[in-house]
Structure 1
């Protein structure tokens, strides 16, 4: 049932069907009545809204919040995907074959930044994002009845990178950033170097490090509290003495401790790293290296708590000790 009431700027219509309510304002009663008939049919399941995948992408971006992990990447990717022909297809007409064709086409494209073929891992992440958009459109907006990506095959992706960072590489990089002989934080370049050294001590992700505030740092008890992480959980990360020294080198104040955003950190990292012979080292390699180091001091459950992993199987690579070595410790 629909009700239409005049407002100072037009008419407000409210509809109620199958336990669901919706409302909208229109300049004329005729427009309000027309919308009410269509919306009631949609809520009753008799008719799907005339929307395209591009419309769904735009709404998804509008409703993203900055508190959501990965929101910036999702917003950028969806805006780029709106330029693809896939975005013009009506929601109810979408089929799995549309996404399979898009997947194959995407794998043949070249990255605008590297000029190399788009990696399967990148396409897989984009497919996960598109599936999320479609699932929200199905479950929350009722724009489709089934998710057309349910049976689409994902591209095979290589195993995650777990590169060690050798001591001589750490030294060369720290010298390039001006934080080897002395921990300094006067420039953004130096703070980027400190962030890398801090990551090697804590196994924290770049985003977690850059979001750190003094309120969540407890130097007296040697830990930092992360109120929200990539998987949505909070966690406490213990600090080594070296990690505490790095934090003490940073100036106290309001806002993020390292006073860097992700784009600045990434640009400075690439610029200074490329001045060394170690151009293959990624900033995020610091996490894998730190996990290797921590695995020699913590058991698997402790390590999982520190780094925020829910799947213990993914950590077993860091406990690859030989049977002969373990036998010696057993006595």
Structure 2
């Protein structure tokens, strides 16, 4: 290796050598031989490599350091050598390249910081195997619910997938042969008329709709969610420029699935929006965290502590299923999987027979 580097450095000192040097590697087929370009940039040497459609570059103090990096990096990009990187380094790249660009990435970014402190994070990627993740999974199951472990495993798998496909730091995914804990069925709790009335009163809505205090506006958000099946985050982020009362719909520019969505408004939903003062900020004047704290405080003052704000979505979908067919409902609430909506259509055989005439 030292002889190859010395030879390359000697060639590059030749005044007749062009601005790039062909780096020969016996591990790489001749037809895929890469090109390494090494040029002076101020007081440093900048090297660029290009292998099989992928580029990388870096600057060094000396030309010999640049040449050494070029040989090693080309071998890595060509697949003849795996880089000596840790799981924590893969997490940092995933955070920078993927997670930080996603909507609602707060949970992923928080978990990645926690993962970086795990013993497995300090291990070299090439040394990790299924047993390492099985041990972590079993230990984690003693601390949190299976659904949480499954979600964390999905994030780890995404990091390893990025390391394999984009960074080319590993050839296989050590999590591929590790069983993910079974997730419990999603919560689809109905909200009874008594619960709706008690919570509405606890949130300060008595008779005429009120919007004077934050608690009042949480009450309006609760009622609005029951009318539209919009998520809490979508309601709190709604702005007046996306509200079209005359046409009776609101536009959500960016939703959970990454696509825009128009949500039709019932007459009651229009009434709720008209009760709110217009301004430059969010329609309901609430942040999601403030909404959560105030809702819990009001709810805990009632006898219905099992009700969550997000239960409004399931209840609203049940109600809308009586008015829309499954394709219309999917469009309104932003679902892509029609099968997941069938549970909301619970007509009995007798009710269906009545439709036949």
TM-score (norm 2): 0.84
**Once the 2 structures are TM-superposed, how far is the Cα of residue 37 of structure 1 from its aligned partner?**
2.4
Pair 100,245 (structure 1): closer, same or farther in 2 beyond 3 Å: same
What is the CA–CA distance in structure 1 between the aligned matches of 2:191 and 2:68, rounded to whole Å?
Answer: 64
Residue 140 (structure 2) aligned to one of 103, 106, 109:
106
TM-score (norm 1): 0.91
Flag the structure with larger Rg: 2
Matched, 1:43 2:69: no
Q: Partner of 1:127 in structure 2?
A: 153
What is the CA–CA distance in structure 1 between the aligned matches of 2:211 and 2:62, rounded to whole Å?
Answer: 61
**Once the 2 structures are TM-superposed, how far is the Cα of residue 28 of structure 1 from its aligned partner?**
4.5
CA RMSD of aligned residues (A): 1.9
Pair 192,11 (structure 1): closer, same or farther in 2 beyond 3 Å: farther
Q: Is there any run of 5+ residues in structure 1 with no aligned partner, and where? A: 110-117
Q: Partner of 1:114 in structure 2?
A: none
What is the CA–CA distance in structure 1 between the aligned matches of 2:77 and 2:297, rounded to whole Å?
Answer: 54
What is the CA–CA distance in structure 2 between the aligned matches of 1:136 and 1:12, rounded to whole Å?
Answer: 27
Matched, 1:7 2:33: no
What do residues 248-293 of structure 1 show as CA deviations (whole Å, max 9, x unaligned)? 2223233432233332222222222222211111111000000000
Matches within 5 A, 1:277-296: 277-296=303-322
Greater shift in the superposed pair: 261-270 or 81-90: 261-270
Q: How many residues align?
A: 323
Q: Partner of 1:59 in structure 2?
A: 93
Greater shift in the superposed pair: 244-253 or 183-192: 183-192
> Is the Cα contact below 8 Å between 1:64 and 1:71 reproduced in 2?
no
Q: Partner of 1:163 in structure 2?
A: 189
What is the CA–CA distance in structure 1 between the aligned matches of 2:166 and 2:231, rounded to whole Å?
Answer: 32
What do residues 174-205 of structure 1 show as CA deviations (whole Å, max 9, x unaligned)? 22222343333333333222222211111111
Residue 25 (structure 1) aligned to one of 56, 59, 69:
59
Q: Is there any run of 5+ residues in structure 2 with no aligned partner, and where? A: 1-34
**Once the 2 structures are TM-superposed, how far is the Cα of residue 67 of structure 1 from its aligned partner?**
5.7
Where in structure 1 do 4 or more consecutive aligned residues deviate above 6 Å?
none
Residue 298 (structure 2) aligned to one of 272, 283, 286:
272
Matched, 1:305 2:331: yes
Q: Aligned with 2:166: secondary structure?
A: helix
Structure with higher RCO (Cα < 8 A, 6+ apart): 1
Pair 297,258 (structure 1): closer, same or farther in 2 beyond 3 Å: same
Greater shift in the superposed pair: 246-255 or 135-144: 246-255
Q: Partner of 1:319 in structure 2?
A: 345
Pair 29,106 (structure 1): closer, same or farther in 2 beyond 3 Å: same
Q: Aligned with 1:41: secondary structure?
A: helix
Pair 185,317 (structure 1): closer, same or farther in 2 beyond 3 Å: same
> Is the Cα contact below 8 Å between 1:171 and 1:180 reproduced in 2?
no
> Is the Cα contact below 8 Å between 1:304 and 1:312 reproduced in 2?
yes
What is the CA–CA distance in structure 2 between the aligned matches of 1:85 and 1:182, rounded to whole Å?
Answer: 58
Residue 278 (structure 2) aligned to one of 249, 252, 255:
252
What do residues 80-106 of structure 1 show as CA deviations (whole Å, max 9, x unaligned)? 222222212211222222222221111
Matches within 5 A, 1:88-103: 88-103=122-137
Q: Partner of 2:9 in structure 1?
A: none
